Structure 1
Amino acid sequence: MKKITSCLFILVLALSTILAGCGGSSKTESGTTLNVYVWTEYVPESVVEDFEKKTGIKVNLSTYSSNEDMLAKVKSESEGAYDIVQPSDYMVALMIAQDMCEKLDKDKLTNIGNMDDAYMNPSYDPGNEYSIPYLGGAGAIAVNTDIIKDTITSYADLFKPEYANQLVVLDDFRAVIGMAAKSIGYGMNETDPAILEKVKEKTLSLKNNIKLYDSDSPKSALIAGDCTLAYCWSAEVALAMEENEAIQVVYPKEGPYLFLDNWVIPKGCKNYDAAMEFINFMMDAESAKMVGEEFPYLNPNKAGVALLGDDFINNPAKNPPSDAIAKGEFVDNIDTDSLAIYDQIWTELKK
């Protein structure tokens, strides 16, 4: 009888283990490892550790510096290598078009009510079928007013020859070429070859002014005094301002480059329930507050922003003004032939 009972126990245990691994399970088994691929300096270790402690799920965090790097890496790996990625708006649309994303089970996202409606139901993913916004911001200008005495108001100002070798810019071809296009009255998503020829000429005229390309931590060059001007994310300006009060943020009169980064589950994810649990955890108000304290980007989590208080809400670098957002522009997907032109411009600029 003992032997029969033991066999039955083992059979039941094995069956329950199999069922626990099925997509319909509501609770993730402790000891699961999530492979999460995110932007550099964007997800606080303290929040990840809090998630691990509360769930027993281990998070293996790796980072990238551009959407294109992320896409190439995900495509080069076997399906299911990553459980969560963090693409920007236009890249979400591209991944959806290429059938690279799993649909989200909204029933598992109990914190979705914390999100600001202004950032939900975006054009690149109607109904948020595949993505949930995480953080966003603007391509702002940083000015060290101890050194730069001129009044900077626009992207066009950054091209002045007197600023030779003073500028740190994002290591992002769509951001930099788009900024050059806006500086001469065009948009960030131009595809007309004749217009792109003008954009190319303008972009290449910036070469002598660029001292450094850095998307990971452009604030470092500002804080160290190596660069006196920057074209970088608004949150990087905010962090630099905390170290040096002479650094100020400017939103260009042409309207800034806007972005919104998102949580997405890649096709073939091996730990779907755990991935959903992580995304839901990141939408918790306290988690969003912790994120905002360390990385003060535009935060679409209204419950988290309320906890951050007036210091965050009233800081224009941390919380871009509504008039700047209203004038801003998002990057869109463009056709392959146009992308080849952008790539050629970028190659010439950096050589």
Structure 2
Amino acid sequence: MKKSMKKLVCMMLTVVLVFSLAGCGKSSASGKVLNLYVWTEYVPDAVIAAFEKESGIKVNISTFSSNEDMLAKVKSESEGAFDIVQPSDYMVKQLIEQDMLQKIDQTKLTNLSNIGTQYLNPKYDPGNVYSIPYQGGVAAIAVNTAKIKDTITSYDDLFNPKYSNTLVVLDDYRAVIGMTARSMGLSMNETDSTTLGKIQTKLLTLKNNVKLYDSDSPKSALISGDCNLAFCWNAEIALAMEENPDIKIVFPKEGAYTFMDNWCVTKGAKNYDAAMEFINYMLTPEAAKMVMEEFPYLNPNTVAVSQMSADYSSNPAKNVPAEVLNKGEYLDNLSTSVLEKYDQMWTELKK
């Protein structure tokens, strides 16, 4: 009798367990998957978890540290290996030209109206046919004022030999070469060979000043005190400032490197509808606010920005002022031959 009762109890527990597992987590029930390839430290885990809970879609994330790394990886994988990628402005144009993206179905983006009109219809993708803006900002200068007593005002100041072994800079050749060009009063998108030669000459004078190349978390070197000057993303500086009030942000007088990162769907994406659902979710004020609270970049979701506290909206390191953006310059998609020259310059700098 006891054995029979034990068997009955076991059977009942098994049935309960099966039904419990069936009801746990919509992602298990739906079987839907979404593969993202995004910038490092840019999309909060909490936002992904909230989307998974609401949608029942399992999200797999891979990360990159530069647009060029992303391009190379996507090319090396089979078509559609990633559903969504997160290229910057100029890289969107390059991906379009290489037929690596598919069109966005804006009829599925019921939250697109949350994006300010000033951020739509960009030069690199008129009509936002292939891209939806995510976050942007500038590559600015960070100064530890407790260690650096000079008044820093420009990109050009970073080349001063007195700052030997002091800088952390982005591990990004378009950014660093572009910054060098701006320091000379030139465009970040120079193509003339003679002009590029002059830029390279100055670029190489930066070599001894650079202690660390880091695009993933340059704030770490600032916070630890390993580096007292930086050329990096504005949000990284903002987060460093919260840890150390002696760190200040400087928007270069020459005009800053300006960027906007985007959501794009790859050609051959295996989960197109899930991709549209995810992008639409990221356009909600709730998701955008969660993003800004953890990674405080310029956010084009004007509805969400209006709901943020003064800590974000009145902080120029987080919410970059319009005048800084207007004075800045975006990168262009350059020809392969010119990019090869840029790559050679970068290789020479890092030797």
**TM-score over 0.5 (shorter chain):** yes
Alpha-carbon distance between aligned partners in 2 of 1:47 and 1:337, rounded to the nearest angstrom: 40
The equivalent of 2:91 in structure 1 is 91
The equivalent of 1:137 in structure 2 is 137
What secondary structure is seen at the aligned counterpart in 1 of 2:266? coil
The equivalent of 1:19 in structure 2 is none
1:338: how far off?
1.2
What secondary structure is seen at the aligned counterpart in 1 of 2:91? helix
Deviant stretches of 4+, over 3 Å: none
Alpha-carbon distance between aligned partners in 1 of 2:142 and 2:308, rounded to the nearest angstrom: 23
Aligned length: 323
1:157: how far off?
0.4
Alpha-carbon distance between aligned partners in 1 of 2:274 and 2:30, rounded to the nearest angstrom: 10
The equivalent of 1:307 in structure 2 is 307
**2:318 partner amino acid:** K
1:258: how far off?
0.4
Q: Which runs of 5+ in 1 are unaligned?
A: 1-28
**2:274 partner amino acid:** A
Alpha-carbon distance between aligned partners in 1 of 2:88 and 2:200, rounded to the nearest angstrom: 24
For residues 79-109 of structure 1, give each alpha carbon's deviation from its aligned partner in whole angstroms, at most 9, with x where no partner exists: 1101100000000000011111110111100
The equivalent of 1:77 in structure 2 is 77
Alpha-carbon distance between aligned partners in 2 of 1:129 and 1:323, rounded to the nearest angstrom: 28
The equivalent of 1:274 in structure 2 is 274
1:309: how far off?
2.4
**1:57 partner amino acid:** I
**1:200 partner amino acid:** Q
1:60: how far off?
0.2
1:339: how far off?
0.9
What aligned pairs does 1:98-109 form with structure 2 within 5 A after superposition?
Answer: 98-109=98-109
* Alignment partner of 1:188 is 2:188: yes
The equivalent of 1:232 in structure 2 is 232
TM-score normalised according to structure 1 size = 0.91
Alpha-carbon distance between aligned partners in 1 of 2:79 and 2:32, rounded to the nearest angstrom: 18
What secondary structure is seen at the aligned counterpart in 1 of 2:326? helix
* Alignment partner of 1:199 is 2:190: no
For residues 34-91 of structure 1, give each alpha carbon's deviation from its aligned partner in whole angstroms, at most 9, with x where no partner exists: 0100000000000000000001000001100011111111111111101100000000
The equivalent of 2:18 in structure 1 is none
**2:230 partner amino acid:** A
* Alignment partner of 1:150 is 2:150: yes
What aligned pairs does 1:261-300 form with structure 2 within 5 A after superposition?
Answer: 261-300=261-300
**1:76 partner amino acid:** S
Alpha-carbon distance between aligned partners in 1 of 2:315 and 2:144, rounded to the nearest angstrom: 17
Alpha-carbon distance between aligned partners in 2 of 1:213 and 1:273, rounded to the nearest angstrom: 38
Alpha-carbon distance between aligned partners in 2 of 1:53 and 1:264, rounded to the nearest angstrom: 23
Alpha-carbon distance between aligned partners in 2 of 1:127 and 1:30, rounded to the nearest angstrom: 33
TM-score normalised according to structure 2 size = 0.91
The equivalent of 1:347 in structure 2 is 347
Structure 1 vs Structure 2: percent identity of aligned residues? 67
* Alignment partner of 1:179 is 2:155: no
Q: Which runs of 5+ in 2 are unaligned?
A: 1-28
Alpha-carbon distance between aligned partners in 1 of 2:349 and 2:258, rounded to the nearest angstrom: 23
1:153: how far off?
0.3
1:245: how far off?
0.2
Alpha-carbon distance between aligned partners in 2 of 1:31 and 1:229, rounded to the nearest angstrom: 48
The equivalent of 1:252 in structure 2 is 252
1:308: how far off?
1.4
**1:305 partner amino acid:** V
